[in-house]
């Protein structure tokens, strides 16, 4: 069945639904791919998990058409044209490369690889395959993020002077893969990467890409090498500064952004999960104005952008080049905070 979309001229344009295979039956997949697929009309063709029983439950609960015996079988399925990869961080790179080699477009959870070197390998695989590759920085596709960038880009707060981002969540259970160094876990990888990415997106207004000027952090007790929290500082070529507070052991969730110019500032209540709070405040001339950008999930905007790239060749802001640049800055944050880079998972046989 084709999905009917109205073009700007009012014409009925029917689009073949995107046919997606899901690697794993993770919790994030429910919000990040199941709900958006239902909203946009995409088909979830197949799923596989390490535990087949979990995959069967996931398929039954969320309308996935069939369960396969392994990730490799999902990649080999001729009806699957695109892969959604929500596996543990250390498995992103290897399975992204494998999916591209199998001729599948890829929407991968962030970060797309364990370190910048592996991100470059993923980029090379995407270039060889000539396929769409998108790293799931879903926040960027939502009107909240676009409003932040528009305010700064339009000169609405004057020249960029400072950026402050808080990316903080309550601690996951101790056995969660996000605390696993072999699986490339850590607070920067899980939540801090959003703040790193936003700093990069603001580089276009700060004279170029930001660089890390200093960082500190704390290791998670019982998990050597895994960052519980990191505070990183940045400098832009044009003189602006930035700071990221990343924590996977906070008392409560906080995902705020504050961007200061020399004539005002703009703030977002929750720029990563705007469906929870879509408020944006713009302050100019000493007067603060509250705006609402809409509660539609950022994941739905992201899946629409991915489908447009696959079907129509639309540009992808969070492509493989963007993923490499983000991975390089993440690596710099880890080095500056005194942590080793995340180890790679063994290549897929």
Mean pLDDT, residues 27-31: 94
What's the rounded mean pLDDT across residues 24-38?
96
Closest by CA position to 335, among listed 179, 116, 124: 116
* Tens of pLDDT, residues 42-90: 999 999 999 999 999 999 999 999 999 999 999 999 999 999 999 999 9
Contact 82, 18 (CB under 8 A): yes
Q: What is the pLDDT of residue 347?
A: 66
Binned at pLDDT 50, 70 and 90, residue 345 comes out as confident
pLDDT tens per residue, range 153-195? 999 999 999 999 999 999 999 999 999 999 999 999 999 999 9
The predicted structure's pLDDT at residue 349 = 53
Contact (CB, 8 A) for 74 and 48: yes
Tokens of 142: 């939502």
What percentage of the chain carries pLDDT values higher than 70?
Answer: 95
Q: How far is CA 74 from the centre of its chain?
A: 22
**Does 3 sit behind a cis peptide bond, omega within 30 degrees of 0 on the bond before it?**
no
Average confidence score pLDDT of the chain: 95
Closest CA relative to residue 169, chosen from 255, 271, 76: 255
Q: What share of the chain is helix, strand, coil (3-state, %, to 5)?
A: 35, 30, 35
Report the predicted TM-score, pTM, of the whole model to 2 decimal places.
0.94
Please, which residues have CB within 8 angstroms of residue 82's CB and are 6 or more apart in sequence? Answer: 18, 19, 20, 21, 104, 105, 106, 107, 132, 306, 310
- Please return the burial class of 135, using the count of CB atoms within 10 Å of its CB with bins 0-12, 13-18 and 19+: buried
Average pLDDT over residues 99-127: 98
Q: What would the mean pLDDT of 277-295 be, rounded to a whole number?
A: 97
Compute the average pLDDT of residues 34-49: 97
Nearest to 277 by CA among 248, 303, 255, 299: 255
The torsion angles phi and psi of 96, rounded to 5 degrees, stand at: -65, -45
pLDDT at 3 over 90: no
Q: How far apart are CA 25 and CA 1, in angstroms?
A: 26
| Spatial distance between the Cα atoms of 112 and 320, rounded to a whole number of angstroms | 9
For the segment 202-234, what is each residue's pLDDT rounded down to a tens digit? 999 999 999 999 999 999 999 999 999 999 999
Q: What is the mean pLDDT of residues 101-130?
A: 98
Rg (CA), the chain: 20
Give the model's confidence band at 13: pLDDT under 50 very low, under 70 low, under 90 confident, else very high.
Answer: very low
Could you write out the DSSP letters of every residue in 292-341?
E---S-HHHHHHHHHHHHHHH----TTSHHHHHHHHHHHHHHHHHTTPPP
């Amino acid at each position: 069945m084709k999905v009917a979309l109205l073009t700007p001229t009012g014409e009925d344009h029917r689009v073949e639904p995107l046919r997606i295979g899901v690697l794993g039956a993770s919790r994030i997949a429910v919000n990040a791919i199941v709900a958006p697929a239902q909203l946009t009309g995409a088909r979830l063709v197949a799923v596989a998990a390490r535990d087949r029983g979990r995959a069967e439950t996931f398929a039954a609960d969320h309308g996935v058409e069939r369960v396969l015996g392994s990730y490799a079988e999902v990649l080999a399925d001729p009806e699957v044209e695109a892969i959604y990869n929500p596996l543990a961080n250390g498995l992103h790179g290897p399975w992204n490369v494998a999916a591209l080699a199998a001729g599948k477009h890829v929407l991968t959870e962030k970060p797309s690889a364990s370190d910048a070197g592996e991100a470059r390998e993923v980029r090379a695989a995407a270039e060889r395959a000539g396929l769409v590759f998108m790293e799931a920085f879903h926040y960027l596709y939502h009107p909240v993020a676009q409003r932040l960038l528009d305010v700064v880009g339009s000169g609405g707060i004057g020249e960029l002077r400072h950026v402050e981002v808080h990316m903080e969540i309550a601690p996951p259970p101790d056995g969660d893969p996000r605390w696993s160094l072999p699986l490339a876990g850590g607070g920067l990888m899980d939540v801090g990467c959003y703040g790193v990415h936003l700093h990069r997106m603001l580089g276009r207004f700060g004279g170029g890409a930001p660089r890390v000027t200093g960082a500190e952090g704390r290791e998670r007790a019982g998990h050597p090498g895994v960052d519980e929290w990191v505070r990183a500082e940045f400098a832009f070529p044009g003189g602006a500064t930035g700071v990221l507070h990343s924590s996977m052991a906070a008392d409560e969730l906080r995902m705020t952004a504050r961007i200061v110019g020399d004539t005002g500032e703009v703030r977002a209540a929750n720029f990563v999960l705007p469906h929870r709070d879509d408020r944006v405040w713009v302050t100019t001339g000493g007067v603060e104005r509250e705006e609402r950008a809409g509660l539609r999930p950022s994941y739905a905007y992201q899946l629409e952008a991915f489908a447009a790239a696959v079907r129509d060749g639309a540009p992808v802001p969070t492509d493989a080049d963007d993923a490499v640049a983000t991975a390089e800055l993440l690596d710099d944050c880890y080095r500056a905070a005194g942590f080793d880079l995340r180890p790679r998972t063994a290549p897929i046989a």
